[in-house]
Structure 1
Amino acid sequence: MEHHTDKVQAVAWNHHEPQVLLSGSFDRSVVMKDGRLPSDPGFKWSVTADVESLAWDPHDKHLFVVSLEDGTVQGFDIRAAKSGSASDLKPSFTLHAHDKAVCTISYNPLTSNLLATGSTDKMVKLWDLSNNQPSCLVSKNPKAGAIFSVSFSEDNPFLLAIGGSKGTLELWDTLSEAEVARRFGTTTS
């Protein structure tokens, strides 16, 4: 499957449609393919910078986000793609998330619309993506250096693991943040 012209930085399988694969590249594109049809060109979106990370929304099989080297996160709805190339399609939203590259993103596995982002600007932020109108709920410098990885726990969905350049692993109970508890706390019962 050759559909990028520069290094592929990120891949992600769709949780609901396990044959559907996204790939993101430093050629500033995201490609969606059906793994059962390797010769099919799939769908291709142009993005504004080098791709750092990709994630399918675990609550909606049609939605994905891509984090970029320029500090933005873009959200896409695959239902807008009709055939062949979708490079002229606009994102559902563009979020100016960080001052530097957004290296990592993680959806909360329990509640829809809660996204964590991590960046080389040393910050981790939590976002409410409701109605394609993202708003920052809280930001934190976990003192881990440049942030390269964040991941919500499947077992304890509001516990966020954070990995950074200082070689430490940090854990953040995001439900201890008042705004997260106010907006999403009722989903825990």
Structure 2
Amino acid sequence: MHFALTPRFTRCLVGAVAALMAQGLSFSPAAAESAYVEQSQAGARLPVHALPIANSHSGVVPAGRSGPAIPRVAPEAIAAAGRNFAQTVQIGNYNQVAQIQNGANNQSAVGIIAGNANNVGVLQGGNNLRSNLVLLNTQGLSVGVIQPNGSAPVNMLIARLPNGGLLIKR
């Protein structure tokens, strides 16, 4: 789709913005929630505590004062032995990904690119397990990766080809 910025379109756009501003409406950036999901350690008990988010305060702050500065630390920036790491990138609609890790030092990455209505599950039950899974241009697939202790790394690409075929590359 192509939009041309004609003088008439530009005048209409400027007029609409001016009308909204005259009515007292203001434009402010939207705040997004953190994309990081903290994982529990083996044998951990509830409650699970979330990482602090920048600009959040634990209590009421009087007007005109700011609360204490809370550093923003991404989970992957914390190096500690025995940590599990799961990462998901989704570009598409109605995709569902569940990554469950039990053990220590496991890593899992799932990418769904230009995909819709896919279901992916990764279960790692052991130590030092690795999995990388990418779904490219797929629709309606259900994929499960189950890795018991001592399993070989899983590196897999599943792609829908332009001719309609399905490529599964390991």
| Superposition TM-score, scaled by structure 1 size | 0.29
Structure having the higher strand fraction is 1
